[in-house]
A and B are shown apart, each in its own frame.
Chain A
Amino acid sequence: MANRIGAIVDHMNSTALSRNLLVLQDSGWIVTTFAEVRSRADFVLIVGTETNSRFPRFAERLIDPLDSPFSDGPMQRSVVYLGARPKAPADARVLDCPTNKLGEVFGALRCLVANRPLQAVRVAGLDMEILNGLADEMRKAKYGVVAWAAADLDQPHGELIVQSICGLVSDLNETTRFAGLPLGGNDADVTANQVTLWQTGLPLRTGFGRGVPEYDAYHFGTDRLLAGRNADVLLWISAFDPLRLPPETDVPTIVLGSPAMRFTKAPAVFIPVATPGLHHAGHFFRSDGVMAIRLRKLADSPLPSVAEALTAIEQAL
């Protein structure tokens, strides 16, 4: 439908997702997937301390199990959290530092891993001794992982933190194996990006206004389009989560959403839709962007799927 009417396609989580995407487009990265982390990682650095609340099963599924097809007994795995202590798990090993200083920490680690002299005594409140120890541990890891959730890096140019993480990972691979693990996938953000990419060749924040696909990570962000009143209408889709309401705007808003949605300001049009994986089949990409999960129909619903609703709207145009 966007192709037909010349709309811009974006996702409610794009601001976080684009922190990763910009790094991919600028320098690339070395990354891994869940099963590799679970079975192979002997060192895991978790950036930000909200990972466990954002992804409740992350530790339980990937970090806690210590049996491995590659080791005859339980494997050894060091787990370090880097971020603001109050939000970390109670018994975790935490390197306490403010989120807005993470870029400095990774810059310092890159120096240390490369054996370059660094004139600092402390970086982001962490003693050099601690950082030296961490760099040493990373170099000695056989298969190290750095995990981050782009949503936690909510600050101006948060993508630069992602880039310094990926630069560090890349450097470590000169001598050992190391990989990044970007965490995301909520509200089908990874799914939406994957499909937009393969169908158009460009990621989210691609518009069709001029008859060809045009990608603009900055101008085509939903918040910016609404704030500048550069959009005539907002079509907001949230089939999974009734709590994800459209942003407040004077721009006329159409919502395709869960019937459980409760609005403070009623949209111009509200079309209740069925839930994928409950009322109809579909697909959902997991956070690592590799495994597409089959969503199955479990119950009937009188409501249309988002696809059915959009097709009907398009046919009526």
Chain B
Amino acid sequence: MLIRLKGGRIYDPANGANGTVRDIYIRDGRIVADPGDSARPDQDYDVSGKVVMAGAIDMHTHIGGGKVNIARALLPEDHRADLLARTELTRACCGHAAPSTLATGYRYAEMGYTACFEPALLPTNARQAHMEMGDVPIVDKGGYALLGNDDLLLSLMREGADQKLINDYVAWTLDVTQCIGIKVVNPGGINAFKFNARKLDLDETSPRYGITPRAILLTLAQAIEDLGVPHPLHVHGCNLGVPGNVDTTLETISGIEGLPMHLTHIQFHSYGTEGDRKFSSGAARIAEAINRNPNISADVGQILFGQTVTASGDNMSQHRNRKFASPNKWVVMDIECDAGCGVVPFRYRDQNFVNALQWAIGLEIFLSVDDPWRIFLTTDHPNGAPFTTYPHLIRLLMDKTFRNEQLARLNPDAAAASTLGSITREYTLNEMAIMTRAGPAKILGLADRGHLGIGAGADITVYTDHEDREAMFRTPDYVFKDGELVAKDGRIVKVTLGATHVVKPAYDRGIEDRLRPFFARYRSTRLENFAIDEEELCECGSSRLTVHQCRHARVA
């Protein structure tokens, strides 16, 4: 079947189109060249004057896995306030802070998103995460496997294992957990918390292992580099949320010694200690460091006001944050000599000095990083705000007048402590297409997503160019997933299954002999039962496994 989108304004930064008017042709789920006058489209959509972009990609969103389901269990009252009724096509479910998997898929697709990446997939919990992601309909999924607090890696490092062996362990982890990247959360800190440490600085040695977070970051970043994995090491750094952590973050940037590194929810790591309240913005210093270091990228983790829930692998920080739980209930968990998690409900208030300044710090970072290819639009869903707030966030970035109106409503001391009011930058549509499409695809190594070139997967979103950017990005006219119309005017019209994106770097299978005894003795599952294969993924609701190229070919 041939589909034509006729006369749209194309924003396709990967291929240099910045509002260029041209037709797009789709056949068998892919974008194809103009087949010429003799070919009659089976479906023709007149999109003249409309804005056409690739489907959006959320490169950091907690959509499935143990801690998300704990967050769901914790907050029935939040769900009761946001019920999705059953329709002919969609099932009854609940949304808001920790939406059901079904609501997650429906609402991402309705907003024009076609791929979501779960950033904290514990290897021991990978099976659950993939089951949940399989039940997120329509959008494609992928995961980053968590390493850096597991007793296996720390033991290897303590024994002085060579980098080659660690590379094999990292590649094996990616392979058996079916992931596309590696994330480290509070390197060594989650492990140290099990030994009753309450903080672990970048150069502090961990209990038992005597290893510093700096060494863990370097070792893992080197592994990613050696294996040729496209996505840089995905880092949730030390001292999350602690005033003064801007210094830690800057040292983390210099400490990685030029290796590629992605700093996630960097807003939560950009706090100074100036002023009467010993809490200030470090955004300018962070943005300057990102601008100066081309090996560094970041997503923001913007906070927006209202009820949400924070769900993190960083149980050391979450245990500290329990005092701010609202409503007052929280979960902390130690997990399988592998990792941990902490879930703390949170209500960000615009009249609270700290919350208001957090809001401003996030926006300052967005607007002060020069290169939109290295900064990504996230709220760290649901930690800063639910993903359904993205259209509002986009308006804040694209509309200075609107932004300043919002700023005027905040806690006045926070507004006075921020430079935000003096920043005049407004993101353009082309920059927004970079930040939410082309950039994420590039940094994840998704060759056929995030752009509208010939051969790309036909994940396409069509918007009406509305002056109110929030209205525009909330309700696209059309959303196509792999060439099928899945949403129209912000309503689901077809429910499909998404693919799972992974990488498969080459490694020596002999690593399993090294790991097997540890699993047999100390883990409560055998190594043989650990791996997830494609058949199992598809049984859980994935349409297919899409393997992306590493910089080195895979050895069979």
Contact = CB atoms under 8 A, between A and B. Distances in A.
Interface in A1-48: 3, 21, 24-36, 38-40
Contacts of A211: 85-86, 92
Given A199-B93, A203-B76, A36 B334 contact: yes
Nearest to B93: A200
A221 to B, nearest CB: 16
Interface range, B side: 35 or more
Contact of B128 (A34, A39, A194): A194
Contact of B72 (A28, A38, A197, A212): A197
Contact of A69 (B92, B131, B155, B193): B155
B38 interface: no
Contacts of A26: 329
A305 B336 CA distance: 32
Interface range, A side: 35 or more
B332 interface: yes
A294 B127 contact: yes
A290 B125 contact: yes
How would you classify the secondary structure of chain A's contact residues: helix, strand, loop or mixed? mixed
A69 B209 CA distance: 11
Contacts of A283: 127, 131, 540
A281 B539 contact: yes
A198 B194 contact: no
Contacts of B155: 69
Interface in A191-230: 194-195, 197-203, 208, 211-213, 215
Given A25-B74, A70-B208, A201-B94, A290 B329 contact: no
A293 B518 CA distance: 18
Interface in A270-285: 281, 283, 285
Interface stretch (B97-105, B277-285, B479-487): B97-105
A145 B39 CA distance: 70
B406 to A, nearest CB: 29
A92 interface: no
A290 B473 CA distance: 37
Contacts of B532: 294
Nearest to B209: A70
A199 B524 contact: no
How would you classify the secondary structure of chain B's contact residues: helix, strand, loop or mixed? mixed
Nearest to A35: B336
B94 A213 contact: yes
A149 interface: no
Contact of B101 (A3, A198, A212, A291): A198
A266 B99 CA distance: 41
A177 B340 CA distance: 13
A34 B101 contact: no
A213 B92 contact: yes
Given A24-B331, A31-B331, A176-B196, A61 B524 contact: yes
Given A69-B518, A198-B64, A200-B93, A27 B329 contact: yes
A286 B335 CA distance: 13
Contacts of B100: 197-201
A208 B124 contact: no
Interface in A98-147: 142-143
B506 interface: no
A24 B74 contact: yes
Contacts of A177: 193-196
Given A31-B331, A194-B128, A203-B76, A290 B84 contact: no
A290 B128 contact: yes
Contacts of A173: 319, 332
Contacts of B325: 28
A183 interface: no
Contact of B95 (A27, A29, A69, A201): A201
Interface of B: 64, 66, 68-70, 72-74, 76, 79-80, 83-86, 91-95, 98-103, 122, 124-125, 127-128, 131-132, 135, 151, 155, 193-196, 208, 319, 325, 328-338, 343, 518, 521-525, 529, 532, 536, 539-540
Given A25-B73, A35-B523, A177-B196, 6 more contacts: A33-B335, A143-B196, A197-B69, A292-B128, A294-B532, A294-B536
